Chain A
Amino acid sequence: MSVTHVELPASSHIHPPPDTFIKKYVFSLDHKVIAIQYFITAGLFLVFAGLLAELMRVQLMGPNNHVLSVAVFNQAYSLHGTAMVWLVGIPIVTGAFGNLIMPVQIGARDVAFPWLNMLSFWMLPVAGILVFASLLFGAPQAGWTEYPPVSLQLPLGESLSLWCAGVFVIGVSSTITGLNFLVTIVKMRAPGMTYTRMPLFVWATGVTAFLSMIATANLSAALAGLFIQHNFGVPFYDVTRGGAPVLWQHVFWFYSHPAVYILILPAFGIVSEVIPTFVRRPIFGYKAIAYSSAAIGLLSFMVWAHHMFTSGLQHWEQLFFMLLTMVIAVPTGIKIFSWVTTLWRGKIRLDSPLLFVLGFLSTFTLGGITGVMLASVPADAQEHASYFVVAHIHYVLFGGTIFGIFAGLYYWWPKMTGRMLDERLGKWHFWLMYIFFNLTFLPMHWAGLMGMPRRVATYDPMFAGTNLFVSISSFVLAASILIFIYNAYRSARYGEPAGPNPWGARTLEWMIPSPMPYYNFRDVPIVLSGPYDYGKPLPYANISQDLAMTPVR
């Protein structure tokens, strides 16, 4: 096999590997180590936030329960939502997966600004400590959305300031990461990697980076307003002194709707990587999937007020936001149809990464359908702020983002650690999680439509049966994650070595050893065509072919 050897550009130089523990594992500049730092930190927050959810479900096992006081219950759901969105979801899908995979998939040796990358990461524990420290002062109680005026009234003292500061910090981190990733993708692709040869995970990460960079500043603005009103009395959101409570809602959702796409697009990217690998055929509709990510990214700035259909919008505003919200379902649909079609006539291997992807497609579809139901202004009148919305967000964020995260973890674990996870445990994890996810969240649609509002510590006894059922299912759902934790531990102790390419995939991260070496590529790879042409020779020059040819496990 003749491989053209290409000299590195004169400007590129290799820093020596870090020599101290602190430089290597604590203040690391290496994107792969930073990714693992994100996984571990956000994983811890996931456990906290999950425990808060289970506390809520204990309280809700029956009407008029007194396990938690109302105030503690409110704090539990507020910090649960805050943490799941900002300390778990966004850091994992961008900071962790984006860092671990994106630079390698474009053939780069690191991100554009490693130092900023380190800074972004270190903001996560700071933000987490600020947010959870608000518990010491009686945390905020108005949910992750913290609508004023009520958010300004309930926590007496410092907790709202801490909450604002924490979310602000993670917002800045997210903005910086966005900038960093966008520059990396635009400037640092290997020779020959045109935009239409980029892996779809890179497309997704690129659009996400754009959203994080542009949208997050609005969150910062909204938070600054809340903080200033709370501490210095400038009445941004106070109607009696010339402000407007609805102002917060507009600015908050102008960020937070794009944010839901920050949460889901990278998961879409993971799905697009896992499917061709385990179906052993080119992904169907590469361009449609790539461009629909871009379309979603743009449209996501034009639908924010669909969260505010009951906040007294004008008629034309209702029509505008309804139409665009429905339009955004179309590119989402295109992706799902393309993925399903890719399964057709494949040679499918049902390993755990693919199982989680199938679970994703199955549950996310329902979340998309309920999304359209919520987009219809009159239908939303019944559904808004009820358990129906709670069900919707969990179908898209748990059924979507969390299933996507686990698909990605099972898929890239060997690459990240150099060891395999146990397949049997993976399958147990999947089936328990899939079944009990649905048992937990499906009944909530019904409760919501029948009149159960969200954010309540007690409810009409007519909902008792549903809630007990939901609570019990949620306990099993949480327990299923223990299987993963055990699997990870088992892999560290006894896992079989993975080799560079255990799944026989074709993107660049699989062309180098596992775990990935410092600086990733000895020579900069050259890309000759797209990454998903199974059955054809590998589309790279300048890589070590003997690694790449490792057969499928």
Chain B
Amino acid sequence: MKLEQREPLLDSGFWRAVAVMTVISIVLMVGVVVFPVEKYLPEAANISKPIDDLFKFCAFFGAPIFVFINGFLLYFSIRYRRRPDEPIDAVGSEIHEHHGLEVTWTIIPSLLMIVLAVLSYLVIPMYYPTNQAFASAVTLEAIGHKFYYEFRYPGLKQSVMNELHLPIGVPVTVDLTSAEDEQDVHNGAVIHSFWVPEFRVKQDMIPGIVIPIHFTPSEIGMYRIVCSEFCGLGHSHMWGKVIVQTRAEFDAWYADQQRAAASPIAAPLSLAGGNPSAGQTIFNAKCTVCHNAAPFAQRKVGPGLAQLFDDPDHPDLVTGKKATPDNVADILEHGAHGDMGVMPNMQANGLTPKDVADLVAYLRTLR
């Protein structure tokens, strides 16, 4: 008690500590403001920067809070340690309330929270369309499957798998949902998520609901689509690509797609000249998500494929057909739907006819 009367409550050491923490805070806050996010992760859509700015708002005010709390913890626990020469039952100050202080640390964070909520709420309509204002935008459909993305463009008969092509600067609305055609208990539709980190867009794809999300790509490049909602054994590998192109490039790609749709019956696949070692590379890159190069029983999502062509226990394929090279190629081309789940078709797996030939050649070398 006597001590407290002699020296001021907040001594010079306290103010020195405050000064140091203030300097560190200011350095960090300036650091937050000037931090070049886009150098690490492109801000490739119109909403990326507003979202990053909200994050920066939190970091800007979070930094001094973090610094002061940790700084005071460190400073007080050193400065006010009981010295060895002090009596063993020495006690500290009795001050245990201060209304001004308590009101301050209630009001200031509350105000910050309200500002953050308002700022956040202003950004929400930028990517969740509220009304018909986005009618002018191009509307695409995106459908989550196990374990790939299907995109449907207006005016394009066939879907595009796993690759979303978008022209730069054109507002798009993507209607997200999950595949409704896969409905039985074991293979039914599940929740996926459509995340493009470079856009700052993430939205769940939920069976039975269509959720529109809105944005305008603003930077040319190729970006990741990541599934962030656990969806099954292939979740870890459920990746797609967004390709943002110039208008001219996009139109050319689109015309190609239309042409492909117009010539419906493609030439039958030819298995001649398949290259097993090229097939092995493709297998390891694309098939090992769901299959092992091991006997049938060692299944992942689908069966192990090592004895595909001569397994006495499994003479038939899931399609019920005999295990011949042509019938295997048929599965690679069109996919399959059996007890273990759904195997995507050739487009979804991103395979060319040549790839199919190589894969069949490779599978034939396995024992």
Q: How far is the CA of A343 from the CA of B202 in the complex (A)?
A: 43
A551 within 8 A of partner (CB): yes
**Are B58 and A322 in contact (CB-based, < 8 A)?**
no
Whether B197 sits at the interface, judged by CB under 8 Å, is yes
Of the 9-residue stretches A34-42, A200-208, A250-258, A373-381, which lies at the interface with chain B?
A373-381
- Residue from the set A358, A385, A552 with the largest chain B CB neighbour count within 10 Å: A385
**What string of 1s and 0s marks CB contacts (under 8 Å) between A106-133 and chain B?**
0000000000000000000000000000
> Quick check: B231 and A451 within 8 Å, CB to CB?
no
The CA of A532 and the CA of B197, in the complex, are separated in Å by 51
Chain A CB within 8 A of B47 CB: yes
B206 in complex: contacting residue of A312, A329, A337, A338, CB < 8 Å: A312
Find residues 304-358 in chain A having any chain B CB closer than 8 Å to their own CB.
Answer: 310-312, 315, 318-319, 322-323, 326-327, 329-330, 333-334, 336-338, 340-350, 354, 358
Task: Determine whether the beta carbon of B130 is less than 8 Å from that of A315.
Answer: yes
Residues of B within 8 A of A153 (CB): 185-188, 190, 232
Across the interface, do A348 and B81 meet the contact criterion of CB distance under 8 Å? Answer: yes
Which chain A positions have C-beta within 8 A of B348? none
**Complex Cα spacing A171 to B333, Å:** 49
> How far does the Cβ of A11 sit from chain B's closest Cβ, in whole Å?
37
Is B158 in the interface zone, CB < 8 Å from A? no
A284 to B, closest residue via Cβ: B96
B97 near A284 with CB under 8 A, answer yes
> Does any Cβ of A come within 8 Å of B40's Cβ?
yes
Contact call B116/A279, Cβ cutoff below 8 A: no
Residue in B125, B231, B236 whose CB lies within 8 Å of A458: B236
The answer to whether residues A244 and B208 also contact, given A69-B300, A346-B76 and a CB cut-off of 8 A, is yes
* Binary B-proximity of A263-294 (CB < 8 A = 1, otherwise 0): 00000000000000001111111111000000
Whole-angstrom distance from the CB of A226 to the nearest CB of chain B? 13
Q: State in angstroms the CA–CA spacing of A226 and B238 once bound together.
A: 26
A residues within 8 A CB of B195?
A: 385-386, 451, 453
For residue B204, CB closer than 8 A to chain A, the reply is: yes
Contact A150 B230 (CB under 8 A): yes
Residue A32 at the chain B interface, CB threshold 8 Å: no
Q: How far in angstroms is the closest Cβ of chain A from B255? A: 32
Q: Does B191 contact A (CB under 8 A)?
A: yes
Which of the four size classes fits the interface of chain B?
A: 35 or more
Report the bound CA distance from A504 to B90 in whole Å: 11
Closest to A455 in B: B230
Complex interface: chain B residues within 8 A of A280 (CB):
82, 90-92
Q: Is A245 an interface residue (CB 8 A)?
A: yes
Once A334-B102, A373-B58, A378-B120 are accepted as A-B contacts, the answer to whether A348 and B77 lie under 8 Å apart by CB is yes
Assess the A279–B92 pair: CB atoms within 8 A: yes
A149-B82 contact in complex given A246-B206, A344-B76, A382-B197, C-beta closer than 8 Å: no
B73 and A358 contact, CB distance less than 8 A: yes
Cβ-closest chain B residue relative to A460: B224
For residue A238, which residues in chain B have a CB less than 8 angstroms away from its CB? 188
| Chain A 444-469 interface mask (CB, 8 Å, partner B; 1/0) | 00000111011111111000000000
Q: Which of A75-127 contact B (CB under 8 A)?
A: none
Contacts of A384 in B (CB 8 A): 202, 228
Interface string of B196-214 (1 = CB under 8 A from A): 0110111110111101000
- Other-chain contact of A341, B50, B101, B231 (Cβ < 8 Å): B101
Residue of A nearest to B226 (CB): A453
Please give, as numbers and ranges, the residues of chain A lying within 8 Å of B207 by CB-CB distance. Answer: 149, 239-240, 245
**Can you name the residue of chain B whose Cβ is closest to the Cβ of A233?**
B185
Encode contact with A along B83-107: 1 for CB under 8 Å, 0 otherwise.
Answer: 0001011111111111001100110
Note all chain A residues with C-beta closer than 8 A to B230. Answer: 74, 141-143, 147, 150, 454-455
- B69 at the A/B interface (Cβ < 8 Å)? yes
CB distance from B202 to the nearest CB of A (A): 5
Cβ-based interface call for A365 (8 A): yes
CB pair B191–A149 under 8 Å, yes or no, is: yes
Docked-complex contact B89 and A378, CB < 8 angstroms: no
Shortest distance from the beta carbon of A379 to any chain B beta carbon, whole Å: 5
A402 interface residue per 8 A CB criterion? no
Contacts A149-B190, A318-B124 aside, 8 further interface pairs with beta carbons under 8 A come to A239-B189, A246-B209, A286-B97, A315-B130, A327-B110, A358-B73, A376-B120, A377-B121
Across the A-B interface, the 6 shortest Cβ-Cβ residue pairs: A239-B208, A451-B197, A281-B92, A346-B92, A345-B93, A343-B76
Q: Which residues of B contact A (CB under 8 A)?
A: 4, 9, 40-41, 47, 50-51, 54-55, 58-59, 62, 65-66, 69-70, 72-73, 76-77, 80-82, 86, 88-98, 101-102, 105-106, 109-110, 113-114, 116-117, 120-121, 123-128, 130, 180, 183, 185-191, 193, 195, 197-198, 200-204, 206-209, 211, 224, 226-233, 235-237, 239, 300
20 A-B residue pairings within 8 Å (CB atoms)? A70-B300, A143-B230, A238-B188, A280-B92, A281-B91, A284-B98, A319-B124, A341-B101, A344-B76, A344-B80, A346-B76, A346-B93, A365-B69, A373-B55, A377-B120, A377-B124, A378-B47, A378-B54, A379-B51, A455-B235
